[in-house]
């Protein structure tokens, strides 16, 4: 059977599965639609959260980012940042918001800061960061289709939109939750199988986490030592120790990803679906277990695939690879444009070096590491087909979670809570489905015509969540004195600083040529790169919020009661006090 | 009198939660920002198999410890809450 047919079969089977689940788990009330009736088992929610969280970027790009762009150790910022955020989420945010017991993040901000303005500002922050994020997912769907199924990009995107549309509009949070569980199983299988094979081949150890620290099969040289050595020979820096920028930059980058993770609304709302506060805490632990399976495998794939690539480029006699002896996967991926070679000195060989003057492997895209991994390791075709299905599962599950966060912010926070409080539940459910449909179409449109900033979007989404929503939530839960004036000023200041810093270095709306300070690192504030600015935005948010709060009256007594309620032991009372309810 | 006791119990509970959070967050900071970034060079002198220890914390160890922290928080909180309810029942008698 040809690879394309096999891929169609595997992907087709997973899509049929998602649709089947959607039909079986239709939402029939707003509570179903927003929070799956609050009846999801904590382990199941953990799995759904893991799929919700791990996007096309985690699945396709992260290992390559670590191995190539961030040269090994520098890539640790993603590994620690994107997992450490769950500790903040589990300790400081999720249990309290679950206890609060409503449907959305702006719900909490609006009520805690007793202000429609605060709620609307939170909705704007939420939509900004979710929309920038969803564009990346839709692009991921289109790219995965066009690469593996040989459709054109538009067709692939269209099919992806149809699938998401079907199960998200129909099923709401309930449908999304159960589909995400299936998607988690697909994506984690697709990610770990090639990793196990490649680890076995290189080190004889089937567990990639152990293989990474083992010796190479048939020798007593450690894999990481070998990698360090041959990369240094080629003029690269040492894999296991090279910093990304400076120590301070790595701290700021890690911190930004951590607090961004803890402030992303589509992740937070997953914890509203479990039955109790205790379940929310446990569920965060399970989510991280399921995430860690991929995140501890990724650095192994990164190092092993990099070693394989370098090995391919060096022949046994120590000479560079002859052009006519290129392996088949090499040519396959040259056709996609992810890999490019140019014989600069005309010796018929491809020299791979760190020096751009002599390097003849002129393009080595980050994504190739995961996508071509099965071929490089000479694995059977069904594994390649599985990787395609896994990439799609990762992109679709994250897109659905983001779309739900966007649509509930519109139908619940803008319509029901702010502008049309008299709307009936039935009308609200209809509105939420319409908002979801519009969000899917909008995301599809942006996926087809990505604005110039598509490349910088994920960093921006994290920066926005870190600088606006996370501080507002944290102060909302723990800082009694912060009032509505402080919270609104803080959120606006945090967002402004983040946008300004990103735009001034990467161009306004990422349009090249409009960056007024240039992308050059000498102008970076203390050497902190624009991707890592979220933590600065958050600090500004905190300082502004505390200062402004001092200038205005303290929050009213209902807020005192709400905070009392949030902090009392969870088994004592499970209903919000009357004064705190709508 | 009963009111006072109630308030006191509540404050004790809040203080315990705060100190639990603080201790766990210290560990969270030490294993990631500490072992993974600030102290990575000295730790890299120590090796476990092929792993330099600092590198291992940055790419593997911190993640495992994060998981342990969340489950530790979850189970200690459940115990604290159960404790609180038990005492409330006792004082209600």
Q: In A238-269, which positions are buried (b, 16+ CB within 10 angstroms) versus exposed (e)?
A: ebbbbbbbeeebbbbbbbbbbbbbbbbbbbbb
Residues 279-318 on A with a CB inside 8 Å of B are 281-282, 284-285, 288-289, 292, 295-296, 299
> What percentage of chain A exceeds 70 in pLDDT?
91
Whether residue A241 and residue B84 make contact (CB cut-off 8 A), yes or no, is no
C-alpha dihedral sign at B36, B39, B45, B48:
negative
Q: Which of A82-96, A220-234, A377-391 has maximum average pLDDT?
A: A82-96
Residues of A in contact with B10 (CB under 8 A): 568
pLDDT at A520: 46
Residues A509-527 have a mean pLDDT of 50
Please tell me which of the candidates B17, B70, B81 has its beta carbon nearest to residue A288: B70
Contact A96, A262 (CB under 8 A): no
pLDDT tens figures, B41-50: 999 999 988 8
Residues A382-401 have a mean pLDDT of 89
pLDDT at A526: 59
Residues 392-451 on A with a CB inside 8 Å of B are none
Q: Decide: helix, strand or coil at residue A512.
A: coil
Residue A292: how many other CB atoms lie within 10 Å: 20
Tell me, letter by letter, the H, E, C secondary structure of A26-68. CCCCHHHHHHHHHCCCHHHHHHHHHHHHCCHHHHHHHHHHHHH
**Could you tell me the domains of chain A?**
3-309+378-470 (1.20.1730.10)
Name the residue ranges covered by the structural domains of chain B: 2-87
Please tell me which of the candidates B44, B62, B78 has its beta carbon nearest to residue A84: B62
Q: What are φ and ψ of residue B46, in 5° steps?
A: -90, 140
Contact A539, A497 (CB under 8 A): no
Angle subtended at Cα B48 by Cα B46 and Cα B50, rounded to the nearest 5 degrees: 105
Angle subtended at Cα A347 by Cα A345 and Cα A348, rounded to the nearest 5 degrees: 120
Residues A290-311 have a mean pLDDT of 93
Which region among A186-190, A511-515, B52-56 has the lowest average model confidence (pLDDT)? Answer: A511-515
Half-sphere exposure of A175 (CA within 13 A, CB side): 30
pLDDT tens figures, A68-117: 888 889 999 999 999 999 999 999 999 999 998 888 899 899 999 999 99
């Amino acid at each position: 059977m040809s690879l394309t047919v096999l891929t169609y079969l595997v992907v087709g089977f997973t899509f049929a599965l998602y649709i089947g689940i959607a039909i079986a788990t239709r939402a029939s009330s707003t509570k179903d639609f927003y929070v799956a009736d609050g009846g999801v088992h904590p382990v199941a929610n953990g799995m759904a959260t893991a799929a919700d969280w791990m996007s096309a970027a985690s699945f396709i790009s992260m290992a390559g980012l670590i191995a190539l762009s961030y040269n090994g150790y520098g890539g640790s910022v993603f590994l620690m940042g994107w997992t450490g955020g769950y500790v903040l989420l589990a300790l400081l945010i999720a249990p309290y918001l679950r206890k609060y017991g409503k449907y959305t993040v702006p719900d909490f901000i609006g009520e805690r800061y007793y202000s429609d303005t605060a709620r609307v500002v939170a909705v704007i922050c939420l939509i900004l960061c979710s929309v920038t994020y969803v564009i990346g997912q839709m692009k991921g769907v289109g790219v995965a289709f066009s690469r593996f199924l040989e459709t054109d990009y538009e067709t692939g995107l269209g099919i992806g939109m149809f699938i998401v549309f079907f199960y998200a509009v129909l099923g709401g949070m309930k449908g999304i939750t159960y589909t995400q569980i299936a998607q988690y199983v697909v994506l984690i299988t697709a990610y770990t199988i090639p990793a196990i094979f490649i680890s076995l081949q290189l080190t004889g150890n089937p567990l990639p986490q152990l293989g990474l620290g083992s010796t190479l099969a048939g020798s007593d040289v450690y894999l990481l030592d070998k990698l360090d050595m041959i990369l240094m020979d080629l003029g690269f820096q040492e894999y296991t120790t090279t910093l990304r920028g400076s120590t301070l930059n790595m701290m700021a980058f890690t911190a930004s990803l951590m607090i961004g993770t803890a402030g992303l609304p589509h992740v937070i709302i997953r914890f509203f679906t479990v039955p109790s506060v205790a379940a929310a805490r446990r569920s965060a632990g399970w989510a991280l277990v399921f995430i860690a399976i991929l995140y501890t495998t990724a650095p192994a794939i990164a190092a092993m695939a990099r070693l394989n690539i370098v090995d391919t480029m060096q022949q046994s006699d120590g000479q560079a690879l002859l052009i006519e002896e290129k392996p088949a996967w090499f040519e396959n991926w040259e056709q996609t444009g992810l890999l490019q070679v140019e014989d600069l000195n005309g010796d018929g060989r491809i020299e791979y070096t760190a020096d751009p003057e002599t390097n003849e492997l002129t393009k080595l895209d980050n994504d190739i590491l995961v996508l071509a991994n099965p071929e490089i390791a000479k694995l059977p075709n069904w594994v390649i087909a599985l990787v395609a299905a896994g990439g799609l599962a990762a992109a679709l599950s994250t897109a659905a979670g983001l779309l739900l966060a966007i649509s509930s912010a519109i139908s619940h926070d803008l319509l029901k809570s702010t502008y049309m409080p008299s709307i009936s539940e039935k009308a609200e459910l209809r509105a939420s489905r319409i908002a979801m449909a519009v969000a899917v179409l909008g995301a599809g449109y942006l996926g087809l015509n990505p604005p110039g900033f598509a490349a910088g979007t994920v960093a921006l989404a994290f920066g926005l969540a870190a600088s606006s929503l996370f501080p507002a939530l944290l102060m909302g839960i723990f800082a009694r004195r912060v009032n509505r004036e402080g919270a609104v000023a803080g959120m606006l200041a945090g967002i402004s600083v983040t946008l300004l810093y990103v735009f001034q270095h990467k161009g306004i709306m990422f349009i090249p040529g409009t960056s007024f300070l240039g992308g050059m690192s000498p102008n970076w504030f203390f050497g902190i790169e624009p991707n890592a600015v979220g933590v600065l935005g958050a600090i500004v948010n905190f300082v502004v919020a505390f200062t402004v709060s001092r200038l205005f009256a303290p929050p009213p007594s209902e807020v005192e009661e709400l905070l009392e309620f949030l902090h009392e032991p969870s088994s004592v009372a499970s209903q919000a006090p009357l004064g705190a309810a709508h | 009198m009963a009111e006072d006791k109630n308030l006191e119990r509540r404050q004790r509970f809040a203080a315990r939660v705060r100190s639990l959070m603080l201790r766990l967050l210290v560990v969270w900071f030490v294993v990631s920002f500490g072992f993974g970034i600030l102290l990575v060079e000295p730790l890299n002198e120590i090796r476990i198999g092929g792993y330099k220890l600092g590198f291992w914390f940055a790419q593997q160890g911190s993640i495992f410890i994060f998981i342990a922290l969340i489950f530790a928080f979850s189970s200690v909180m459940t115990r604290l809450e159960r404790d609180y309810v038990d005492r409330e029942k006792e004082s209600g008698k």
